Amino acid sequence: MNYGFHGKILKIDLSNRKTALLHISTEDIKKYFLGSGLASKHLYYDYDINIDPFDENNPLLIYSGLFVGANLPGTSKLSVCSKSPLTGIWNEATVGGHWPAEFRNTGYDGMIIIGKSKDKVYIKISSVGVEFKSADSLWGKDAYEVEEILRPEIGANAKIATIGQAGENLVRISSFMFDAPISRVAARAGIGAVVGAKNLKAIVVLGDSKMKVEIAHPEELKKELKIDIPLIREKTLGLTNFGTSGGVEAVEKFGDLPIKNWQLGSWKEGAKKISGQEMQPKMLDKHYSCFGCPIRCGKIYKNIKLNIYGHGPEYETCATLGSLCLNDDPELLVLGNEWCNRYGIDTISAGNCCGFAIEAFEKGIITTKDTGGLKLKWDGKSMLALIHKMGKGEDIGAIISQGVKRASEIIGKNSSEFAVHTKGLEYPGHDPRGHVSMALNYATAIRGACHLEGLSYFLDRGVKAPDFGYTTAPNPHESEDKPILVYNLQNYLHTFNPLGMCKFLFLGGVGPKMIAKWLYLYSDLDFDMSSVLKTGERLFNLKRMYNVKLGISRKDDILPPRLFAEAKPDGSAKGVLPNLGLMLFQYYKLRNWTVDGIPTTKKLNELEIS
């Protein structure tokens, strides 16, 4: 009996329009869970790592988290995994909403898509099979328009995932949009371009409630959740009330907010203007919850004047389309967010690309000849204009939409000095000079500059992790005690995507001991805290080895010049610079990696990685 999973991965060959099944075992579930965990096993062992991301045979893996669809709180996440066209290394882009649960009820745990359709196509998957349908009428349309066109055809209950024009045009910061206009997004590292390279516009899923997975101990699980869910609700009340955008002012106080392309340290009045507390009373239509989640952190905005209805900007978007561009206009911020969602562009990368372009213009490195006559300034109007140029592939937009690393290589003239990325991935809205532990996390995170692989700044702000012994906030500016903290949290958080868990459960007090309890009640799997963390460590090292085979080593575990050598001139993190060299030395020893950042044979054997 397969408790908690169907045991089936759907394989789709777009070139030949054929399907097949890959069966997965309980042993695989024990070792990798599902989601990006099992995907990492398949990509590492079963496919050519050296393939070009846009090659038709580059596989696209869409794997549900193990807990998805079972009404466990905050567990509606799936991972879209492939080699990244932005960074050229491992990528997993994670998304929630209702699409993952609907897909799980089609009877599959995941899908592998290979090949390239000769014609523009979208796929419909249900419990009765797979249909290949013409996407001619959808090509060239944005994500919201796809929803409007398809909805009458597919019915009210089906869920849609689609790319916008950016993914069609192989923009390397393009995203994969789910449930538009509510817009849950698999955003980072250009996953939308991998979809577009296959001439695939959308995936529609229609589940059947009879296809739900079997739960091992349903009554005991219900009793446990009656205890756990109220505690999670209590600890995440701020997210329920204001969503992630409610944290903008608090982040600014910590010296953590990216300001003027990472140049400044303080922006109090601007942060207030673009906070959820200021925007919600003017534009909130309703609160939104992903499937089965009690937190309800999503905020749906409506503005008749701006002709907007959709998901309001999250904190990361407020930081990157807001403070990073010195944009304190909430209406322009919401418009920028909406157009990124329509085109299918990652807002984090988009904001960094806009800030990079504005600074390049300010320094005279690019001119109006490059921008199509646009005079770039530090404001929301320039940010919004650049988003349209990126979405349409016009002028400077065609360059910066390939990411700041490639853009700086094309533009030259020392622009690499203010191109803020690690391993080619632009930084999210958390400054490693405000929380030095994030410097180590960014340097070593698998997909590049990713905050979600460590989230160590949570602890600096007073979030407790008692399973690890963290009950008081560490000093955010001291480097010496951070390697063990980052090591522990990376191992822990690398179980979240494979299980389909939202990272906000960390804020809700869910630790590895609770995860172990849920695993037993849900899947009848015998785990404790130690084995949960060992699984996370296995997955972290397996993905690291994927990157190692692509040439990643100590030379790539770095920060960009601006964040490594330029201290903030003001704010609460004034003068702080992380001691990355010290932290890396200690971190590699904890990981049992070589001084070059390569997992040792002893460590790989211990984790059963061949």
Q: What is the mean pLDDT of residues 601-609?
A: 98
Q: Categorize the per-residue pLDDT at 80 as very low, low, confident or very high, splitting at 50, 70 and 90.
A: very high
Give the pLDDT of residue 579: 97
pLDDT at 52 over 90: yes
Q: Which residue reads 């599902």 in tokens?
A: 34
Note the pLDDT tens digit of each residue in 196-222.
999 999 999 999 989 999 999 999 999
Q: What are the Cα distances from residue 6, in Å, to 29, 42, 160, 179, 257?
A: 11, 17, 22, 24, 43
- H or E stretch including 588? helix 580-591
Give 470-505 pLDDT, tens digit per residue. 999 999 999 999 999 999 999 999 999 999 999 999
DSSP string, 593-609: B-TTS-B-HHHHHHTT-
Band of residue 66 on the pLDDT scale cut at 50, 70, 90: very high
For residue 154, is pLDDT > 90?
Answer: yes
Pick the CATH number of 243-419 from 3.30.1320.10, 1.10.569.10, 3.60.110.10, 3.30.230.10: 1.10.569.10
- Using alpha carbons, list the distances in angstroms from residue 572 to 111, 320, 526: 47, 20, 46
Q: How would you class 416 by CB atoms within 10 Å of its CB: exposed for 0-12, middle for 13-18, buried for 19 or more?
A: middle
Please, which pLDDT band fits residue 1 given cuts at 50, 70 and 90?
A: confident
Evaluate if residue 71 carries a pLDDT over 90. Answer: no
- The two tokens of residue 512 are 């590895």
Mean pLDDT, to the nearest integer, of 138-155? 97
Residue 236 phi/psi, 5-degree rounding, is: -115, 25
Asked if 606 contacts 566 with a C-beta cutoff of 8 angstroms, the reply is no
Q: Give the bridge partners for 200, in sequence order.
A: 121
- Phi and psi of 300, rounded to 5°? -95, 120
Checking if the pLDDT of 404 tops 90, the result is yes
Note the pTM of the prediction, 2 decimals: 0.97
Q: Cβ–Cβ contacts within 10 Å for residue 596, how many? A: 11
Classify burial at 535, counting beta carbons within 10 Å of its beta carbon; exposed 0-12, middle 13-18, buried 19 or more: buried
Q: In DSSP terms, which residues pair with 114 in a beta bridge? A: 13
Which residues pair with residue 90 across a beta bridge?
83
Q: What is the pLDDT of residue 144?
A: 98
358 pLDDT tier (thresholds 50, 70, 90): very high
Would you state the structure tokens that stand for residue 249, as one six-digit string?
């002012």
Structure tokens at 379: 């404001």
Residue 181, preceding bond cis, omega within 30 degrees? yes
- pLDDT value at 300 more than 90: yes
Q: How many CB atoms lie within 10 A of CB 605?
A: 10
Q: Which residues contact 189 (CB under 8 A, 6 or more apart)?
A: 84, 85, 86, 87, 91, 93, 346, 425, 447, 448
For residues 243 and 297, the answer to whether their CB atoms sit within 8 Å is yes
Query: Domain 8-211 falls in which CATH fold?
Result: Aldehyde Ferredoxin Oxidoreductase;  A, domain 1 (3.60.9)
Q: What is the pLDDT of residues 312-331, one digit of tens each?
A: 999 999 999 999 999 999 99
Q: Could you tell me if 382 and 358 are in contact, meaning their C-beta atoms sit under 8 angstroms apart?
A: yes
Task: Give the confidence band of 512 by pLDDT, cuts at 50, 70, 90.
Answer: very high
In 24-76, the DSSP E strands lie at 60-64
- Band of residue 360 on the pLDDT scale cut at 50, 70, 90: very high
Q: Does domain 431-493+528-606 have CATH number 1.10.599.10?
A: yes
- One-letter identity of residue 395: D
Calculate Rg over the CA atoms of the chain.
22
Annotated domain spans of the chain? 8-211, 243-419, 431-493+528-606
